[in-house]
Chain A
């Protein structure tokens, strides 16, 4: 029927004119954390929510997750009011620097979160096994979480976020404090989620990583969305072109330079050897290829 929105056309997250003010205790004043924020995250996108500390990213995320109530405005998850508990069926959340119950093993942790999502019996066991395999913690499944490294905690956190197979993942600094190899693993996982059609809302200060994986970004500053759009459009320099040539002979390079010189208004700004990234170099020299771990 025409008045029913199709499942795919409903945005994963819809934020409309959202504002949040925190009252200052014992004073008739309040601090505005978010001011009139409106944005949509389409299903299947990896959306980067960026901004300096105190810009309102975490508050926005918490409002979307129903942990904080908005002063005004509305947030929806796949068309459902995000203040409703049932909207969280579709969401997995990994907070920044998470700690889980130290006395539980990795497997027990996932079983606990699975039970909260209504999983039981063989289905729960199978799901737990798959998630442990997915995040590479099968061998640490019977170890207590209290003995996990930072990277392992992030991975078990990611696994618990996925336990009910949500269509939306909200990740707050998922690679904070994780070594480059672990960071790359998490990045690859996020790219894998994207391939599977899972929507990801990512908050991170690691802009290089955001650039690698996000389709679209929004930049918050002092609670206001100051830039928003597809990443490639926002960061591309419209009047410049980059050519990367492989095994180009010196004659060809001279011809290209001459052609540029002959064209009015064109100018060769720079000619240099492309560089690998420091991350790739580090992983090569340490042999920490995630595929071999």
Chain B
């Protein structure tokens, strides 16, 4: 070993907030996640499911495309959610267990930057995974479309009837309406990732985090129905009191209304999503991500390590 005489001075000036530090943690988190073999299995399974959905039924081409979109978007939604919850749940406990967190926070790294770096790493991984699934989905859709075109052209002579058939095929396959659907799937996964990150800041184990996150997910799907039912039971159709409104608002904050992300079902059904509705959903999703990340920071800032 050498002596410390050879060391060069290295005293960079500390900055209160540094994108470079966040980028270092983000890159490292992404690397950590993409090297986990279990996620490859999940991703491959999702890709196979999406790919094989093209061969599941032999009805009319509209029905085939409907099933293809239903299965593919459903698989993308579920696997992106699973990836978000499972990958985020283990990040913090693993760093604490291995004491890697001590060595990182003993450097001039604010806890907010550490959390943001971890979350952004997960969001990047989700983007890559959803990108891969979307690519397979769109490729399958394109191939099926070409096959349907060929079938239509074989069966009919050129003319208005053929043009109408081709237009119908195009309308049933790829439309730009699919893109907001994929964006909503991503936003839902991002929301679940930030929620899971929040839970992991005070959970005692990653299993507890996963179970709680899954429970919140299911409650989030049910709570708007329960809320509507409760309000409909108000005597004489009276407006709810302020206290009740606050309580319902709090419940909606803790258990996000996942029904708002059911836009994907409309997209799969071929319905056009109005821009205003998409942007409202996106803003709500981003609002949840921001709120959960902020609360996660408040919880993590005072955590005893």
Contact = CB atoms under 8 A, between A and B. Distances in A.
A113 B4 contact: no
A118 interface: yes
A116 B104 contact: yes
Given A67-B105, A97-B99, A99-B99, A117 B12 contact: yes
A245 to B, nearest CB: 34
A165 B11 contact: yes
B59 to A, nearest CB: 47
A127 interface: yes
Interface string B1-35: 11111111111111110101101110010011001
Nearest to A293: B1
Interface stretch (A6-14, A88-96, A210-218, A246-254): A88-96
Contacts of A117: 10, 12, 107-108
Given A67-B305, A112-B24, A116-B109, A196 B10 contact: no
Contact of A133 (B2, B32, B103, B304): B2
A89 B106 contact: no
Given A65-B106, A66-B105, A192-B3, A165 B10 contact: yes
A290 interface: yes
A68 B14 CA distance: 22
A30 to B, nearest CB: 12
B98 interface: yes
A254 B187 CA distance: 92
Contacts of A68: 304-305
Interface in A180-204: 185, 188-189, 192-193, 195-196, 198
A164 B304 CA distance: 25
A99 B100 contact: yes
A119 interface: yes
Nearest to A68: B304
Interface in B94-116: 98-100, 102-110
A281 interface: no
Contacts of B4: 134, 189, 192-193, 195-196, 198
Report, as a range, how many residues of chain B touch the other chain.
35 or more
Nearest to A136: B1
Contacts of B18: 118
A66 B109 CA distance: 11
B98 A130 contact: no
Contacts of A100: 98, 100, 103
A161 B110 CA distance: 17
Contact of B1 (A65, A113, A189, A195): A189
Most buried by B among A96, A103, A115, A196: A115
Most buried by A among B7, B9, B32, B103: B103
Interface in A73-125: 85-86, 88-89, 91-101, 103-104, 112-120, 123
A150 interface: no
Interface residues of A, number: 60
A69 interface: yes
A89 B108 contact: yes
A95 B304 contact: no
A268 B302 CA distance: 61
Interface string A215-232: 000000000000000000
Contacts of A131: 7
B105 to A, nearest CB: 6
A140 interface: no
A157 interface: yes
B114 to A, nearest CB: 9
Given A85-B108, A118-B20, A134 B103 contact: no
What 3 pairs across the A-B complex have the smallest Cβ distances? A118-B12, A93-B106, A115-B24
Interface of B: 1-16, 18, 20-21, 23-25, 28, 31-32, 35, 98-100, 102-110, 302, 304-305
24 contacts: A62-B102, A67-B305, A86-B16, A86-B108, A88-B107, A95-B99, A99-B99, A113-B103, A114-B10, A117-B10, A117-B107, A118-B13, A118-B18, A118-B20, A118-B108, A133-B2, A134-B6, A163-B10, A164-B11, A164-B12, A164-B107, A193-B4, A195-B4, A293-B1
Interface of A: 22, 62, 65-69, 85-86, 88-89, 91-101, 103-104, 112-120, 123, 126-127, 130-131, 133-136, 157, 160-165, 170, 185, 188-189, 192-193, 195-196, 198, 290, 293
Given A161-B103, A189-B1, 20 more contacts: A65-B105, A66-B106, A67-B106, A67-B304, A68-B305, A86-B16, A88-B106, A88-B109, A93-B106, A96-B99, A97-B99, A98-B103, A112-B24, A112-B28, A114-B10, A119-B10, A130-B2, A136-B2, A170-B106, A196-B7
